[in-house]
Amino acid sequence: MFLSVFDMFKVGIGPSSSHTMGPMVAAARFLDMMRSSPFEFHGVRASLHGSLAFTGVGHATDRATILGLAGFVPETYDADRAEATLDEIRATKQIAAEGLPRLQFDPTVDLIFDYETPLSGHANGMTLLATDAQGDVTLREVFYSIGGGFVMTEAELAAGQDTSEDGPPIPYPFKSAAQMLEMSVSSGKNIAEMKRANEAARCGIEHLSKGTKRLWQVMNNCIERGMTTEGILPGGLQVKRRAKGIHDALMAERGMNLHAPHTINDWMSVYAMAVNEENAAGGQVVTAPTNGAAGVLPATLRYYLDHVPGASEAHIEDFLLTAAAIGGLVKYNASISGAEAGCQAEVGSAAAMAAAGLCAVMGGTPAQVENAAEIALEHHLGMTCDPVKGLVQVPCIERNGLGAIKAVSAASLALRGDGTHLVPLDACIETMRQTGLDMSEKYKETSLGGLAVNIPNC
């Protein structure tokens, strides 16, 4: 099993990796299928199912699908060009995608939110259709957005296709935390060193080094933008952006000896909230492992760099590699999708990854790192996903702050032990998977239960 650090951390756009990035990626894949097809196409249609339908408007799934069909991809998304393209499509009822004839597409008719018929493979299903001049369907594909921006066709999902096996062999192919620790003992390498060797086998050290630097740059830029931007978030809930005000207050208090020791929690929160406010505003973020949970890991890393004595930027890559190793285990053995397993799979996974990264760069042994990840995930077990109005704002923004605080506490507790503990990380991940299966659909990114139905006037 191999999931690259660049699969876990992808530069993309808000507000959701599964509901915004995934559908855009699926549409881009469908365009490629059309380009390589012998048929002549005249129009396209799309239908959104399950959670993609229920929370699609709040998560901008409709916009993402249309823009994907027009050739946009998350990595190079240009917000200004996107608005102009959407206006043109609405006016002309046509899509112009590179390498294809102009395609008939009326967003009010050809994009359907199907609330009645969920698709069988996954809660986030979508069907894309291409038609000929007579309106007959000549190409059809079902895609599933399985979390974190990952997308599979119906056939790939049914075959359990693991594309991570494609490519050169990797030296440390651990599929569980137990295997990871065994390989660490037998090789004498820590988790980041094993992960680095795996990445090098697939993409080369130079690519890895440049890529991880860029990831942190995008994460940190996102924190900075969030801490300097005011206003009301889009979507109609009238949620006020708070990160700037909190950051300004924290800066004003610096050196004045006014604050209680727990003020450090506000720093962790403000970094995370800054990211998630940017995400909610549709800005550029890095999945970590998803958009909804994108603030936890950058906040924990920024906390390390700014507040931990002796911290060094030289350790950023080790932090990201260790976190990606843990995220890969969670995704492979359970889920990182809120629509599949609730928020325990998103913010819980993010906290486990961040705790592992922090523990590692603070000198933790592989056993302590595994312990840190387990503590962080264990104390998110059972957490539901119930975003108000289908927007990735409430409870998501604050929840990322609390996720970062738990991650730091988990790393600290693990560092105070010797790595021995009762609940193995593998057992915790399996518990998360089973709890996700048992969880009512109301609490899996459908906004049909929980906070989403108990807030007045929403």
Kindly write down the DSSP assignment for every residue of 98-133, as one continuous string: TTS--EE--HHHHEEEESS---SS-SEEEEEEEE-T
Which among 41-49, 161-169, 263-271, 387-395 is the span making contact with ligand SF4, rule CB under 6 A? 387-395
Decide: is 340 part of the binding site for ligand SF4 (CB under 6 A): no
Q: Is 445 in the site for ligand SF4 (CB under 6 A)?
A: yes
One DSSP character per residue, 262-299 reads: THHHHHHHHHHHHHHHHHHTT-EEE-SS-STTTTHHHH
At position 204, the amino acid (one-letter code) is: G
- Which CB, 45 or 399, lies closer to ligand SF4? 399
Angle at the Cα of 348 (from 426 to 341), degrees rounded to 5?
80
Residue 352 is a binding residue for ligand SF4 (CB under 6 A): no
Secondary structure (DSSP) of 236-269: SS-PBP-HHHHHHHHHHHTTTT-S-TTHHHHHHH
Instruction: Return the number of the residue (318 or 386) whose C-beta is nearest ligand SF4.
Output: 386
Q: Return the number of the residue (126 or 392) whose C-beta is nearest ligand SF4.
A: 392
Q: Which of 343, 360, 408, 410 touches ligand SF4 (CB under 6 A)?
A: 343
| Choice between 320 and 396, CB closer to ligand SF4 | 396
Footprint of ligand SF4 on 273-292 (CB under 6 A)? 292
Strand partners, 128: 46, 141
**Smallest distance from the beta carbon of 449 to ligand SF4, in angstroms?**
12
What is the closest distance, in whole angstroms, from the C-beta atom of residue 452 to ligand SF4 in the complex?
9
- 232 forms beta bridges with 240
Residue 347 makes contact with ligand SF4 by CB under 6 A: yes
Give the interface segment with ligand SF4, choosing from 175-183, 298-306, 343-351, 425-433 (CB under 6 A): 343-351
Of the residues 121, 327, 387, 401, which one makes contact with ligand SF4 according to CB under 6 A: 387
Closest CA to 9 of 21, 23, 27: 21
Please answer whether residues 240 and 258 qualify as being in contact, where contact means their C-beta atoms are separated by less than 8 angstroms: no
Q: Which stretch binds ligand SF4 (CB under 6 A): 202-210, 325-333, 368-376, 391-399?
A: 391-399
Please state, in angstroms and as integers, the Cα–Cα distance from residue 223 to each residue in 9, 297, 314, following that order. Answer: 16, 11, 20
Instruction: Give 278 or 445: the residue with its C-beta nearer to ligand SF4.
Output: 445
Three-state SS sequence of 150-167 = EEEEHHHHHCCCCHHHCC
Q: Which of 233, 293, 330, 334 binds ligand SF4 (CB under 6 A)?
A: 293
The tokens for 283 are 């800005």
Q: Considering CB under 6 A, how many residues would be counted as binding ligand SF4?
A: 13
CA distances from 10 to 147, 149, 275 (A): 12, 8, 14
82 touches ligand SF4 (CB under 6 A): no
Please, are residues 21 and 65 in contact by the beta-carbon 8 Å criterion?
no
Judge contact between 42 and 131, C-beta under 8 A. yes
**Structure tokens belonging to residue 29:** 């894949």
Tell me how far apart the alpha carbons of residues 406 and 113 are, in angstroms, rounded to a whole number.
37
Q: Which of 43, 226, 289, 338 binds ligand SF4 (CB under 6 A)?
A: 338
Q: Which is nearer to ligand SF4, 149 or 387 (CB)?
A: 387
> What is the closest distance, in whole angstroms, from the C-beta atom of residue 455 to ligand SF4 in the complex?
13
Q: Name the residue whose CB lies closest to ligand SF4.
A: 292
DSSP string, 155-205: HHHHTT--GGGSSS--S----SHHHHHHHHHHHT--HHHHHHHHHHHHH-H
Min separation Cβ 202 and ligand SF4, Å: 29
Site string for ligand SF4, 7-46 (x = CB under 6 A): ----------------------------------------
Among 21, 111, 181, 392, the residue binding ligand SF4 under the rule CB under 6 A is 392
Q: Is 385 in the site for ligand SF4 (CB under 6 A)?
A: yes
End-to-end CA distance of the chain: 43
390 binding ligand SF4? (CB under 6 A): no
Binding site residues, ligand SF4, CB under 6 A: 292-293, 338, 343, 346-347, 385, 387, 392, 395-396, 399, 445
